[in-house]
Amino acid sequence: MDSERKVNSDPRRRLPSVDRLIRDVRGMDSEIPEWAITRTSRELVAAARREMSLTDPSDPPGSMTREQLGVAVLAGARRLVAPHPRRVLNATGVLLHTNLGRAPLASQAAEAIGQALEGYSNLELDLETGRRGSRMGSLEAKLLALSGAEAAHVVNNNAAAVLLALNTLALGQQAIVSRGELVEIGGSFRVPAIMERAGVQLMEVGTTNRTHLADYEQAIGPETGLLLKVHRSNFEQRGFVAEADVRALALLARERKVPLVEDLGSGTLLDLGEYGLPEEAYVPARLALGVDLVCFSGDKLLGGPQAGILLGRRSLVDALRKNPLARALRVDKLTLAALDATLDLMLEGRSHEIPTVAGLRADASELAPRAARLREIVSRVLASAAPNGPEARIEPSEVAVGGGSIPEHRLAGWAIRIDGVDASRTAERLRAAPTPVLARVRADALWLEVRTLREEDLEEVGAALAFALAEPV
């Protein structure tokens, strides 16, 4: 028998204890809260132990030194305590960037939110009578003035609007929808799944590429609760395709005494047809065709806060309000304040002050001076960081509106193209800047689109680029 004590060669023994790691990190930055350091230390050590347990002890993977572990914990702890969401600069050109919060609010809407936050408000109080009032306040009247609808209701997002409409108008009944409109939206949410949760039976008609009025006509029966039209917000069908005319579909629905509900996804209360937006994006036009209830997002083409807006016949909207789900899906005072201020700008003829609307209307000639100014700033930074190296030039560009809104519509403008840098690495460093900047990488170059940058953002973009090109400490 071997009397020598066996030496435990388990590589996990080389890992520092959590307590020691916490002490190391605390010495690196005393301003990071204890809870963030503790949580990150535990997670990192546990992850390292799991990785090592899956490997051959005689052939352990390369492991970080104690100092490297400390640096990793510090970085993780800083991420934990960073404000969320943070302000970022959008140099992608995509106006409704879902990952960046979609529509930026007008300054008036931001101010309205601040006022709603500062103290108490008459959220559900009628100041004239001193009794309980409507949470919607004058918001409904403003929506009706802009749309021509009979009634309006607002919930927390458009998926909620569709859910409420289906559950209210067709619970336990059939909802007839074209097979070509059973779409999947962002985050893997699918129309059939929403319909199932709403408690309605899906009745598909037509084919993937062609659905006719007769398909709906033949499907309507005693179990039909409503006809559902879903806008294909994030893709287009071309070629041998067909869909029922909305006006004819509305007449059929009225004749058969079933409501026609349209999930428009992205809708606007302003007629922006002269700027290339398709007619179906204009909500008043859909109502004028005879659609009984239209649902659309507040934070897409409307340019307001996240919300689901329902406009249509009063009898239908009244039924929605009586549904117990309406309370679960209602909006808070901050959303109401921001939406109210956004609608005021439209009613006052000041829609150009809504960033999304301004971005949709801006043409290449309007953006040219901004592009020239940004090129000047970028060239100065490049000359300072790497003389006789990278260069910046103005290039024409086309970008999508984004947000799953109008996929075929492209916005022509200008971008600053930077060659001679590691584009992917620079884009990564831009995201790590004190004020993060989101840029595009294309054709081995870094592109900064000016459409989504304000004049006051340009110097900050330059500062972020200087940070990105500097050697990391």
The predicted pLDDT at position 57 comes to 54
Q: What is the pLDDT of residues 99-130, one digit of tens each?
A: 999 999 999 999 999 999 988 999 998 898 99
Whether residues 142 and 273 fall in one domain: yes
Backbone torsion region of residue 212, taken as left when φ is above 0, otherwise alpha when ψ lies between -120 and 50, otherwise beta:
beta
The CA distance from 162 to 253, in Å, is 18
| Among 47, 81, 115, residue at a domain's last position | 81
Beta-carbon contacts of 136 under 8 Å, excluding residues fewer than 6 positions away, are 152, 153, 154, 336
Its domain, for residue 338, covers: 107-352
Whether residues 455 and 391 fall in one domain: yes
Q: Is the pLDDT of residue 419 over 90?
A: yes
Nearest to 104 by CA among 305, 403, 402: 305
Q: How many of the other CB atoms lie within 10 Å of CB of 192?
A: 13
Whether residues 333 and 386 fall in one domain: no
The CA distance from 320 to 168, in Å, is 6
Q: Is the pLDDT of residue 310 over 80?
A: yes
Q: Is the pLDDT of residue 234 over 60?
A: no
Mean pLDDT of 271-288: 91
Long-range contacts at 57-63 (CB < 8 A, ≥ 24 apart): 57/9, 57/10, 57/11, 58/9, 60/11, 63/11, 63/14, 63/15
45 to 73, 87, 378: CA distances (angstroms): 9, 32, 42
Q: What percent of the chain has pLDDT over 90?
A: 64
Mean pLDDT of 425-440: 95
The predicted pLDDT at position 115 comes to 93
User: DSSP assignment of 163-195, as one string?
Assistant: HHHHHHHHTTSEEEEEGGG--EEGGGEEHHHHH
| Among 311, 326, 352, residue at a domain's last position | 352
The CA distance from 269 to 285, in Å, is 9
Tally of structural domains, the chain: 3
Beta-carbon contacts of 122 under 8 Å, excluding residues fewer than 6 positions away, are 133, 137
Q: How many of the other CB atoms lie within 10 Å of CB of 209?
A: 14
Whether residues 415 and 464 fall in one domain: yes
Whether residues 278 and 411 fall in one domain: no
Whether residues 198 and 69 fall in one domain: no
Per DSSP, 394 falls in state E
Tokens coding 229: 């039209």
Structural domain includes residue 414? yes
The single-letter code of the amino acid at 87 is R
Burial of 226 (0-12, 13-18, 19+ CB in 10 A): buried
Q: State the sign of the Cα–Cα–Cα–Cα dihedral 385, 389, 393, 397.
A: negative
The predicted pLDDT at position 404 comes to 66
Q: What is the pLDDT of residues 202-230, one digit of tens each?
A: 999 998 889 999 999 999 999 999 999 99
Helix spans in 421-457 (H): 423-431
Beta strand pairing call for 260-266 and 224-230: parallel
The predicted pLDDT at position 236 comes to 67
Confidence class for position 61, pLDDT limits 50, 70, 90? very low
Q: Which of 3-17, 188-202, 249-263, 418-432 has the lowest mean pLDDT?
A: 3-17
**pTM above the 0.95 mark?**
no
Q: Which of 9-13, 302-306, 352-356, 442-446 has the lowest mean pLDDT?
A: 9-13
Q: Of the spans 56-60, 78-82, 159-163, 381-385, which averages the highest pLDDT?
A: 159-163
Would you say 205 and 219 are in contact if contact means Cβ atoms under 8 Å apart? yes
The predicted pLDDT at position 273 comes to 87
| Among 352, 372, 390, residue at a domain's last position | 352
Nearest to 158 by CA among 54, 81, 266, 77: 266
Q: What is the CATH number of the domain that holds 236?
A: 3.40.640.10
Q: What is the CATH number of the domain that holds 465?
A: 3.90.1150.180
Structural domain includes residue 1? no
Structural domain includes residue 6? no
Whether residues 278 and 422 fall in one domain: no
Angle between helices 66-81 and 34-53 (to 10 degrees): 130
Q: How many of the other CB atoms lie within 10 Å of CB of 237?
A: 14
The predicted pLDDT at position 60 comes to 47
Beta strand pairing call for 391-400 and 410-419: antiparallel
Using DSSP, how many helices (H) and how many strands (E) does the chain show? 17, 17
User: What is the average pLDDT score of the chain?
Assistant: 89
Structural domain includes residue 2? no
Structural domain includes residue 147? yes
Whether residues 66 and 117 fall in one domain: no
Q: Which of 43-52, 84-93, 143-152, 418-427 has the lowest mean pLDDT?
A: 43-52
The predicted pLDDT at position 17 comes to 84
Residue 293, beta-bridge partner list: 261, 312
Mean pLDDT of 295-322: 96
The single-letter code of the amino acid at 356 is T
Whether residues 65 and 135 fall in one domain: no
Q: Which of 2-16, 262-276, 329-343 has the lowest mean pLDDT?
A: 2-16
**SS3 label, residue 402:** strand
Whether residues 67 and 93 fall in one domain: no
Structural domain includes residue 3? no
The predicted pLDDT at position 63 comes to 60
Whether residues 137 and 250 fall in one domain: yes
Backbone phi, then psi, for 124, in 5-degree steps? -130, 45
Structural domain includes residue 348? yes
Structural domain includes residue 5? no
Whether residues 45 and 168 fall in one domain: no
